[in-house]
Amino acid sequence: MNAFRPEQHDAVRALISQKTDADEGRKISRYLVDRGFLVPMATDELRRVQYAFGTENHRTDRLELILLASEDCNFRCTYCYEDFRRGTMLPEVREGIKNLVRSRLGALKELSVSWFGGEPLYGMEAIDDLGPFFTQIADEAGLRYHTHMTTNGYLLTDDVADRLLAARINDFQITLDGLPEDHDRHRGARDGGKTFDTIFHNLCRLAERPDRFTVVIRVNFDKENSPGLEAFLPMLQERFANDDRFVLAFHSVGQWGGANDANLAVCGVDESQAVRTKVTALARSLGLNVTGGWQPGLGAGEEVCYAARPYNFIVGAHGDLMKCTIDLDKADHNIVGTLKTDGTLDLDVDKMALWTEPAFERDSGCQSCHMLAACQGVHCPKIRIDSGERPCPGIRRTAKQEMVAYFESTQRQAAAVALEPAP
């Protein structure tokens, strides 16, 4: 998608409607060609998608690991779908991970490690062991190395932050579900205690550091806490406004397979979109960064789920290999194999194929959709596996509204900068 100034409207419409030759208005036509809006008449765009999917899925130079440092957790969130049956990662599993990475060094160019749980900071022994290993081997082998951690932030003390940042674990997602009372109702401790104040304190301590890192503050909303979000945002503004290391992400609570699903006050699709649009605009007006939704430059495969890629694995605390972080070990088809201590992946080929197939090739609806290049029919393989329904990304329906909101936001920011006095 793209936006053009009003005076360019007629020329652009004429070109993409084939009502004029692309040689007319050369500057605009070249712009459209470079971005794929204009293609040669003989181009088979479905074949291009097939090629892009095959090229990405058969890569051997990339390895993505989602590591469950601990499958236990110190929280008992109302919407959680996990069962906390296992504790911290076994030493033999950590050795298997090291050997897996070593075995791939001949071809590997890019290594991505995400720490997940349970609560990963319950498994600091595994993090302290593997974190320095990854940084050392990435430096020695010249790998592009990316890290991420999804943590509730309760245990993210100064000392823990020191250890994580030293291991180049510097990209976090930490959740605050609105005002303290709303958050504590959603995300209480396993003993029933409150958690907001500790997390907020830890975030503020992070903000005081000079280090480079990124924190996505995730805000899950439902019918109960969404009315308080407007009062919550000024709390974030006071601490994190104009600090580009902190970014907000708004998500509606879903029935994700937990025992409490029937009691959740989830928003409907239209209601969720209305809440997200409203609070996103307000957050940006307060100088807060917001991620999610439409962004310029959405490219091929960027709406594809990680689980659909053959080079992405969740490694459980006991060595199970899984694909989807929602199903985990609750669905047998999600346990695609085991990791051996020598680094060998013992895979079930049929289960792997279930998650990584080019599903769009047997879905005529996908083949005729303008979003196909971005989502490749596998935006969420779990939906297709569970229900047989086409897993369309939400942005397919809301892109135009989100695009308008994006440009309105950038125009407001530009106007604000223009009003600032010169230094």
Joined tokens for residue 327: 């199903």
- According to the model, what pLDDT value does residue 420 have? 61
Average pLDDT taken over every residue of the chain: 92
- According to the model, what pLDDT value does residue 3 have? 80
Split at pLDDT 50, 70, 90, the class of 22 is low
- Cross-sheet strand order for the sheet of 110-116: 289-290, 246-252, 214-221, 171-175, 144-150, 110-116, 62-68, 312-315, 320-322, 335-339, 345-347
Cα–Cα distance between 213 and 245 in angstroms, integer?
6
- According to the model, what pLDDT value does residue 24 have? 59
Phi/psi of residue 305, nearest 5 degrees: -70, 145
Q: How far is CA 337 from CA 25, 316, 347, 350, in A?
A: 56, 11, 4, 11
Split at pLDDT 50, 70, 90, the class of 331 is very high
- According to the model, what pLDDT value does residue 398 have? 80
Nearest to 336 by CA among 327, 347, 325: 347
Split at pLDDT 50, 70, 90, the class of 5 is confident
Cα–Cα distance between 271 and 266 in angstroms, integer?
10
Give the CATH class of 63-290: alpha beta
Query: Beta strand 110-116 with 214-221: parallel, antiparallel or unpaired?
Result: unpaired
Q: What is the largest CA-CA distance in the chain?
A: 70
Cα–Cα distance between 369 and 366 in angstroms, integer?
5
Nearest to 213 by CA among 183, 184, 241, 245: 245
397, 270 in Cβ contact below 8 A? no
At which residue do the structure tokens 């809440």 appear?
275
The better pLDDT of the pair 369, 423 is held by 369
- pLDDT higher than threshold 80 for residue 298: no
Question: What confidence tens digit (pLDDT) does each residue in 134-181 have?
Answer: 999 999 999 999 999 999 999 999 999 999 999 999 999 999 999 999
Span 389-401, mean pLDDT? 85
- pLDDT higher than threshold 60 for residue 423: no
Task: Read off the DSSP letter of residue 421.
Answer: P
The least confident of 65-69, 140-144, 187-191, 274-278 is 274-278
- According to the model, what pLDDT value does residue 86 have? 86
Question: Domain locations in the chain?
Answer: 63-290
